[in-house]
């Protein structure tokens, strides 16, 4: 055992303050308000027992010079006293012995915004992911589990594989359990022992070998199961809903004072998770979408007045549709949830279709599943259903728009159109990840493992400006990431398709940006 004390992970001695403007607690290097004894950052680690209901931990914000802020992640030593530390076994690992400076300095942080000017404050930072010299778990003490929740996404199996293999090869950990069937699997299903042998080939398959589900998040039952099984590292792979679920599991574990690290690995084919550069499987999804778009293009150009219509994923965020459109260059119109459109009249979709068919003889339309839902909900057949997780179930915009286009042009006898509708949604979710996503999944898994071994908890891993970081759950779950339609990427997309902006005279341009992005509007206008 190493003699390092539990407070060694603290980078700056800090004092707890309350910022009434931002309604956030933060830790200051300057004793500008009376220091209050506390665990998270002050080093006076004690178990926080917050009554019977789980309360949300205050964000750990550490301030520094020139407007520097660290949006720090919780640590087991924040609420458990006198935790022993150990030397990282990686230092004796021959594979890593060639690396000059393998361990990440505890002071290393990653800037959230890297485009700055002379006068800019240093701004917000996240703790850099990576192996630490000191770890808070001995190899044979670790009893980890992995769970996958929400919809499918390419790369799930790769992340599972790399957590199992990474724990084994880097830290000598052999106790890893797979939880079957998502969150409810913690209390309603069996577990699967996971070894490097069991997971060896799984990255070549789509889906998740553990199975997944929506709904069934019963925090007490899940934490009871974690406690009963003696699990002390929980790796949770899933989207925005899953990360919210992970956050409440962490809060309950903290409330019970358990030495259990809870780590999220962000999974979302829609790329709707905040802060991180992009989610795993996204590149694979965009690549797979090209096949559907190419098919739509071939179909449409092979017939007079052919229209190829492709529906892609994206409930609330149109990233796949936008990137697939930009990558393809065969698309004449891209419709996403963030950018309202209308069908009839001057500047509407029907007018544009007629123009394109007259000019080109064919066209391709890509529509994200969440696009135009406000138009569909004006329909008499509105369904206000939700799935088991509480996500609103959307109507099929692809089918609806196909019908509308067909009806419109059948009334206009001078133009006979031929429309082919392709919906590759589940094919894209179910394919195995491509090479670059596989490497990305490996890094995510390693970042998660290093963070948990170092005693960090309550965080999600992911690249921020290319550097893997540990991001507190609160930042990830604040809201969903969306395409900013006042941003340059959407402008690039519009300029590649030449489609109209569909801004109606009643809805001025600035208004749309404001409505969609609220407080972040000004910030999001920054060049990306
Ligand atoms: N606010 C929440 N609190 C606790 N658990 C939640 C919350 N939101 C969702 N969950 C749980 O997280 C799991 C996955 O949620 P959901 O079905 O929304 O998928 P997701 O993780 O957002 O993935 P995706 O939408 O990308 O498929 C479900 O088991 C659900 O019960
Ligand atoms: O498999 P389900 O429950 O139909 O969910 C599919 C949905 O999940 C997502 O893949 C992620 O939110 C959406 O793009 C898609 O609509
Ligand atoms: Mg989701």
Q: What is the pLDDT of residues 218-234, one digit of tens each?
A: 999 999 999 999 999 99
Nearest protein Cα to ligand 2, atom 3: 151
Spacing, Cα 219 to ligand 3 middle (Å): 18
Looking at the DSSP assignment, which residues form a beta bridge with residue 71?
61
Nearest protein Cα to ligand 2, atom 7: 151
**108 among known catalytic residues:** no
Nearest protein Cα to ligand 2, atom 2: 151
Residue (of 288, 364, 294) closest to 320 by Cα position: 288
CB-CB neighbours of 8 under 10 Å: 18
Is 269 touching ligand 2 by the criterion CB < 6 Å? yes
Question: In a mutational test of the pocket of ligand 2, which residue from 148, 149, 150, 151 has the highest number of ligand atoms less than 8 Å from its CB?
Answer: 151
Which of 82-96, 125-139, 429-443 has the weakest average pLDDT?
A: 82-96
pLDDT tens digit sequence for 415-429: 899 999 999 999 999
- Quote the pLDDT of residue 500: 92
Is 182 touching ligand 1 by the criterion CB < 6 Å? yes
Q: Which atom in ligand 1 lies closest to the alpha carbon of residue 390?
A: 18
pLDDT above 70 as % of the chain: 83
Helix (H) or strand (E) holding 515: helix 509-517
Is 429 touching ligand 2 by the criterion CB < 6 Å? yes
Spacing, Cα 430 to ligand 3 middle (Å): 16
- Quote the pLDDT of residue 99: 73
Report whether pLDDT(51) > 60: no
pLDDT tens digit sequence for 33-42: 222 333 333 3
Report whether pLDDT(10) > 60: no
Among 71, 72, 270, 332, the one annotated catalytic: 270
Which of 49-63, 174-188, 435-449 has the weakest average pLDDT?
A: 49-63
Q: Kindly state the average pLDDT of the residues 458-481.
A: 96
Q: What ipTM does the predicted assembly reach?
A: 0.97
Cα of 165 vs its chain's centroid, Å: 23
How far lies 22's CA from each of 32, 47, 159, 440, 498, in Å? 17, 27, 36, 34, 42
State how far the Cα of 12 lies from the Cα of 72, in Å rounded to an integer: 11
240 is in an annotated binding site: yes
Helix (H) or strand (E) holding 453: helix 435-453
Is 387 touching ligand 2 by the criterion CB < 6 Å? yes
Spacing, Cα 240 to ligand 3 middle (Å): 5
Nearest protein Cα to ligand 2, atom 5: 151
Which of 1-5, 18-22, 193-197, 300-304 has the weakest average pLDDT?
A: 18-22
Phi first, then psi: what are they for 266, rounded to 5°? Answer: -70, 125
State how far the Cα of 169 lies from the Cα of 450, in Å rounded to an integer: 12
Nearest protein Cα to ligand 2, atom 6: 151
- Quote the pLDDT of residue 194: 98
State how far the Cα of 446 lies from the Cα of 251, in Å rounded to an integer: 24
Report whether pLDDT(524) > 60: no
SS3 462: strand
Reported residue count of the chain is 528
Is 151 touching ligand 1 by the criterion CB < 6 Å? yes
61 is in an annotated binding site: no
439 band by pLDDT with thresholds 50, 70 and 90: very high
Note the pTM of the prediction, 2 decimals. Answer: 0.87
């Amino acid at each position: 055992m190493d003699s390092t004390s539990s407070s060694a992970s603290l980078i700056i001695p800090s004092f707890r303050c309350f910022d009434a403007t931002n309604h956030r607690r933060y830790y200051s290097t300057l004793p500008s308000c009376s220091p209050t004894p506390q665990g998270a950052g002050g080093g006076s680690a004690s178990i926080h027992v917050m009554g019977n209901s789980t309360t949300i931990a205050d964000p750990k914000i550490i301030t520094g010079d020139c407007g520097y802020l660290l949006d720090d992640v919780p640590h087991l030593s924040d609420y458990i006293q006198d935790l022993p530390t150990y030397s990282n076994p990686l230092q004796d690992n021959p594979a890593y012995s060639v690396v000059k400076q393998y361990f990440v300095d505890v002071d290393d942080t990653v800037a959230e915004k890297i485009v700055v000017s002379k006068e800019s404050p240093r701004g917000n930072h996240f703790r850099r992911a990576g192996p630490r010299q000191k770890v808070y778990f001995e190899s044979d003490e670790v009893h980890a589990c992995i769970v996958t929740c929400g919809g499918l996404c390419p790369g799930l199996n790769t992340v599972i594989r790399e957590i199992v293999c990474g724990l084994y090869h880097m830290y000598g950990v052999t106790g890893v359990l797979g939880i079957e069937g998502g969150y409810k699997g913690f209390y309603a299903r069996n577990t699967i022992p996971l070894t490097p042998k069991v997971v060896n080939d799984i990255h070549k398959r789509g889906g998740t070998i553990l199975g997944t589900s929506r709904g069934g998040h019963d925090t007490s039952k899940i934490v009871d199961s974690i406690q009963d099984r003696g699990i002390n590292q929980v790796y949770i792979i899933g989207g925005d809903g899953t990360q919210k679920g992970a956050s409440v599991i962490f809060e309950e574990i903290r409330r019970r004072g358990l030495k259990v690290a809870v780590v999220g690995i962000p999974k979302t084919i829609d790329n709707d998770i905040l802060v991180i550069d992009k989610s795993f499987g996204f590149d694979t999804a965009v690549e797979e979408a090209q096949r559907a778009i190419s098919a739509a293009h071939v179909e449409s150009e092979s017939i007079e007045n052919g229209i190829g219509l492709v529906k892609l994923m994206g409930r609330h965020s149109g990233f796949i549709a936008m990137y697939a459109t930009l990558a393809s260059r065969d698309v004449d119109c891209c419709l996403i949830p963030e950018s309202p459109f209308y069908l009839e009249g001057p500047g509407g979709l029907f007018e544009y279709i007629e123009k394109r068919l007259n000019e080109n003889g064919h066209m391709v339309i890509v529509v994200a599943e969440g696009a135009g839902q406000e138009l569909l909900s004006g329909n008499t057949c509105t369904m206000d259903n939700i799935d088991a997780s509480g996500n609103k179930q959307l109507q099929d915009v692809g089918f609806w728009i196909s019908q509308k286009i067909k009806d419109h042009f059948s009334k206009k006898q001078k133009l006979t159109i031929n429309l082919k509708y392709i919906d590759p949604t589940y094919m894209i979710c179910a394919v195995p990840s491509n090479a670059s996503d596989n490497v990305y999944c490996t890094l995510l898994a390693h970042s998660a493992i290093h963070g948990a071994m170092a005693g960090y908890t309550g965080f999600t891993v992911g690249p921020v400006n290319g550097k893997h970081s540990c991001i507190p759950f609160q930042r990830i779950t604040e809201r969903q990431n969306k395409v900013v339609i006042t941003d340059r990427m959407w402008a690039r997309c519009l300029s590649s398709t030449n489609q109209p902006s569909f801004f109606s005279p009643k809805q001025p341009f600035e208004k749309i940006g404001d409505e969609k992005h609220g407080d972040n509007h000004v910030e999001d206008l920054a060049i990306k």
